[in-house]
Amino acid sequence: MAGGELRVHPEEAVLLDGIILSGNSSLNESMLTGESMPVEKGTEDNVTGATINKNASLTITAGKVGADTVLAQNGAMVSGARRSRAPIQGLADRVSAIFEPTVVAIAAAFGARMIFGPAPALVFAFASAVSVLIIACACALGMATPISFTRK
């Protein structure tokens, strides 16, 4: 409950966002910031839920709990981003609907060159397959790059 007091012992997680009433300690905030070095916190400093208290006991007054915490809001933003689609993805879907079957059909050129190609058939078939792969991989990479930003 907001406004309540809570004691956080060393090596325990801070469960909510709040303000330190008493105590000084290092807090590992890597869950939120990605920074591997602990941050020194003391009286009147803000603390965030999901951080780890490292050194000494802290008394914290609860500011935000549950869905109001920074961690919960970050989770909601990530979920929203995963559900949304980038505008480029619609274009990539339309292009790939035509592009992929075309590449498969062209790749069949390898088999056709092996059966119906002039001698040496394997050399001509291999050259055809490599040509298709060089072109298809570059196009696939161009399509996959924007899609990778919107997919998990």
| pLDDT (mean) for 124-128 | 81
- pLDDT over 90, % of the chain: 3
Which residue, of 76, 103, 138, is where some domain finishes?
76
> Residue 23 — left, alpha, or beta (φ > 0 → left; ψ -120 to 50 → alpha)?
left
Q: What's the total number of domains in the chain?
A: 2
Q: What integer pLDDT is reported at residue 83 of this predicted model?
A: 72
What is the span of the domain harbouring residue 21?
A: 5-76
CA–CA separation, 68 and 5 (whole Å): 17
Considering the domain architecture, whether residues 110 and 58 belong to the same structural domain is answered as: no
Q: What integer pLDDT is reported at residue 33 of this predicted model?
A: 82
Torsion of CA 80, 85, 87, 93, to 10 degrees: 170
- The secondary structure of 9-56 as a DSSP string is -TTPBP-SEEEEEE--EEEE-HHHH---S-EEE-TT-EE-TT-EE-SS
Considering the domain architecture, whether residues 70 and 130 belong to the same structural domain is answered as: no
Which residue, of 76, 107, 123, is where some domain finishes?
76
Domain CATH code at residue 53: 2.70.150.10
Considering the domain architecture, whether residues 70 and 113 belong to the same structural domain is answered as: no
Considering the domain architecture, whether residues 92 and 71 belong to the same structural domain is answered as: no
Which residue, of 76, 94, 121, is where some domain finishes?
76
| pLDDT (mean) for 19-36 | 86
Q: How many of the other CB atoms lie within 10 Å of CB of 121? A: 13
Bridge-based pairing of strands 25-28 and 39-41 is: antiparallel
| pLDDT (mean) for 26-36 | 84
Question: pTM of the entire structure?
Answer: 0.51
Q: What integer pLDDT is reported at residue 142 of this predicted model?
A: 63
